[in-house]
Amino acid sequence: MALAYGTLVVMAMLPIFFGSMRSVKHHKEQTTAFQKTGEKPDTMTSKDAMMFPIMASCALFGLYMFFKIFSKDNINFLLTGYFFFLGVMALAHLLSPVISSLIPASIPKIPYHLSFIQGPTEGSKDETESYLIDYKFTTHDIVCFIISLVIGVWYLLQKHWIANNLLGLAFAVNGVELLHLNNIVTGCILLGGLFFYDIFWVFGTNVMVTVARSFEAPIKLVFPQDIITNGLSASNFAVLGLGDIVIPGIFIALLLRFDNSLKRKSNFYFYATFTAYFFGLLATIFVMHVFKHAQPALLYLVPACLGTPLLLALLKGDIKKLFAYEDHPEDKTKDAKKSEKSSGEESSTTAASKTKKETKKKESKKVK
């Protein structure tokens, strides 16, 4: 049992660490693209964070009703096909830098560009063309896709726990890397909302537990508790949902990007909160083991991940910098410039109208 829970903790920590490191690179790429094209990067806003627990509750309850009304096998068949496709793509994206470093330089890296363009409607004045598919890839990406496809088919046919974990880890790393909170306030709203969401659906109802037991998809990490006695064919699993990794993970990744913005020698807030997550996860497992009941992990993880950086920032005098930090502050500067322009235009128009009125008054006086 200790081996199973210990392995789950390690598997939970790895996606957060490597996903956070990759999120820094992704953030730099987004910033460069924004400066070149002016295309606004995709980040989670405060409004999105407020709506997330509501949307998650609707999706969770919807799945619960589907499992109650329809055949569990039919629903899992559809969901397995959907997550098979997503899992293969996520794993290929994760393996891409690893495979590229392993392939010898003698093997050429040939680029390809797959595009599918929709032309203008016949007789329409608008002759613009839109890309339905615009995908660039290389021979290295093809190798990654083939490897990922083999693992995906392995999961599809056997539902083996190792294949499940490989796809689940790929989902977790990609989630932490690509899902960006733009500022700390958004992170506090998201984690605070999901804190109550997790408590309600685990303690208040049997919905969360029922869906977790019925749902057969690589959205959880598992490790057999009886692996020593039964080997790889073990069937009694300890489980950790990906939401308990990705949700705190995207907040911890934000703190790493904040650390980088401070340009200090150490990533203090990242490592402190990363350690707090570790202890929060240990607390979850301990309470679950003592009370023999499923626990809402975010009940322990949210206070650890929110309280640690806020308290440390308060003690170090960085609290203002923490709340002022944004991933893409260019948006504000552009808005400020726009407001300055509009205010300047308004002032010029008002000044012009005043001068017109004054000249009219003078002309009327002359006529008199």
Q: Does the active-site annotation cover 259?
A: no
CA-CA distance, 2 to 25, in Å (whole number)? 36
224 touches 233 (CB < 8 A): no
User: Which pair of tokens denotes residue 158?
Assistant: 């056997």
CA-CA distance, 87 to 80, in Å (whole number)? 10
> DSSP 3-state assignment of 66?
helix
Instruction: Choose, from 244, 259, 318, 327, the residue flagged as catalytic.
Output: 244
Instruction: Choose, from 198, 259, 318, 327, the residue flagged as catalytic.
Output: 198
CA–CA distances in Å: residue 209 to residues 4, 151, 206, 248, 313: 20, 28, 6, 21, 37
Angle, vertex CA 76, rays to CA 227 and CA 58, nearest 5? 110
Collect contacts of 255-261 with beta carbons under 8 A, ≥24 apart: 255/309, 256/20, 256/21, 256/23, 256/24, 257/23, 257/24, 257/27, 257/327, 258/184, 258/322, 258/325, 260/24, 261/325
CA-CA distance, 26 to 276, in Å (whole number)? 25
For 210, counting Cβ atoms within 10 Å of its Cβ (0-12 exposed, 13-18 middle, 19+ buried), the class is middle
Of 297, 308, 317, 319, nearest in space to 273 by CA: 308
> DSSP 3-state assignment of 179?
coil
CA-CA distance, 112 to 114, in Å (whole number)? 7
Q: Does the active-site annotation cover 42?
A: no
Q: What are phi and psi of 221, to 5 degrees?
A: -100, 135
Of 109, 100, 222, 217, nearest in space to 161 by CA: 222
197 touches 61 (CB < 8 A): no
- Residue 238 belongs to what H/E stretch? strand 237-241
Which residues are tagged catalytic?
A: 198, 244
